[in-house]
Amino acid sequence: MMTSTTLKLPTFTIMALLLVGCASSPTGRNQFLLISPEAAILESETAYLSTVGALDEEGKLATDPNLMGRVGRITGRLVTIAEEDFPNSQDWQWSVAIIDDPETVNAWCMAGGRMALYTGLIDQLELTDDELAQIMGHEISHALANHTAERMSRAMATTIGVVAVGVAADNSAAAMAGAALLANLALELPNSRVAETEADTIGMELATRAGYDPEAAVTLWQKMGSLSEERPPEFLSTHPEPENRQAELQRQIPTMLALNPNRVKAPITEIEIVR
């Protein structure tokens, strides 16, 4: 059973964590963050534990040892490369909740490396290991590029300023409650198309260097495109058009192949598969 803890921080710490301004993504893109990456990680933990805890109580967490082992091996190799390139992620609590939901085609990764993968994504697309690596690499890249903090910042900009009110009133509990609300809203908000394209590139490189075929990125989105002709998956809500995405990924394949021409598999970093 999942549990969560209440985080208590003084108001000046909340203010320092929340209000940070401009930053740059791993690709050099300017990011305006009202929420710091550190605050995003803190609040994502609370939101994740709440979300996954509810799924656990409903019996919706997959327990198939073969599936859990497969996801752990593939994601563990990606995490090895991620930690090499982004040393700050070595302290993250990497974990994957495999949600037993054959109707949902979706996956996500919050700040701090906490992920979820729906069985519908694997089953409906009949994913190969290489294609699954592209999915998980893409989602990990959202966390590495601070896209959760961006989504929380967008949520903050469209709310009535509950966090700012709490800080101004010297009420750390109100500020933390507001930040927790933003973290939960960020779970529901889609990434921007710019962020999706950025995660495609970073994720493709992670998967290639971890030993997986970069060409699987193209076959993955071909499958996504075919599925979306019948009913667009939630995963594609604001993603670039599959045809455009396939063309851009195809263009990057020669560069990616040069990174690991023999497709040598990376060591597996042990991560938690939530059960």
Question: Per residue in 215-234, pLDDT tens?
Answer: 999 999 889 888 765 555 54
**Structure tokens given for 23:** 């930053």
CA distance 243 to 225: 8
**Structure tokens given for 194:** 């710019």
Is position 103 annotated as part of the catalytic site?
Answer: no
pLDDT at position 162 over 50: no
Letter for the amino acid at 268? Answer: I
Q: Which residue has the higher pLDDT, 262 or 176?
A: 262
Give the mean model confidence (pLDDT) for residues 186-203: 76
Q: Which residue has the higher pLDDT, 167 or 97?
A: 97
| 6, part of any domain | no
| 236, part of any domain | yes
Q: Can you spell out the DSSP letters for 202-249?
A: HHHHHHHHTT--TTHHHHHHHHHHHHHHHS--GGGTTPPPHHHHHHHH
| 173, part of any domain | yes
Tell me the per-residue pLDDT of 98-129, one tens digit each, with 9 for 90 and over: 999 999 999 999 999 999 999 999 999 999 99
Give the mean model confidence (pLDDT) for residues 168-176: 45
| 196, part of any domain | yes
If pLDDT is split at 50, 70 and 90, which confidence band does 36 have? Answer: confident
| 159, part of any domain | yes
Domain span at 39: 11-274
| pTM (two decimals) | 0.79
pLDDT at position 273 over 70: yes
| 111, part of any domain | yes
| 2, part of any domain | no
If pLDDT is split at 50, 70 and 90, which confidence band does 169 have? Answer: very low
Domain count, the chain: 1
Mean residue pLDDT of the chain comes to 81
| 36, part of any domain | yes
Q: Which of 43, 83, 131, 139 is catalytic?
A: 139
Tell me the per-residue pLDDT of 76-93, one tens digit each, with 9 for 90 and over: 999 999 999 999 999 999
Q: Give the model's pLDDT for residue 189.
A: 54
Q: Give the model's pLDDT for residue 203.
A: 97
CA distance 19 to 170: 15
According to DSSP, residue 35 is labeled: S
